[in-house]
A = this chain, B = another copy of it.
Amino acid sequence: MDVNVLGIIAGFLTSVSMIPQLVKVIKEKNVEDISLVMLLVLISGLSLWVWYGIKKDEMPIILSNGFAVLVNISLLICYFIYNKKN
């Protein structure tokens, strides 16, 4: 299999697997299971992966980690919105 196709499928699967948590948090407006520290560690790590992908010029890495950064920044925004209310 072409390695870029492989990376795109891999990135698609790992990206899809993140959606339900975001949907659940938005639906239930409940962030008590989310650790702020871990979310910040994860966003930092994912951002470094995007940087790694840019340096190596690997589109599957840039796209999938870029998407993951967006999902987790959305979770971070939810964290601050719903954590205040409680």
Contact = CB atoms under 8 A, between A and B. Distances in A.
Interface in A49-75: 49, 51-52, 55-56, 58, 60-61
Nearest to A45: B13
Contact of A38 (B20, B46, B52): B20
B33 A17 contact: no
Query: A interface, by DSSP: helix, strand, loop or mixed?
Result: helix
A12 interface: yes
Contact of A13 (B14, B33, B42, B56): B42
Interface of A: 3, 6-7, 9-17, 20, 24, 33, 35, 38-39, 41-42, 44-46, 48-49, 51-52, 55-56, 58, 60-61
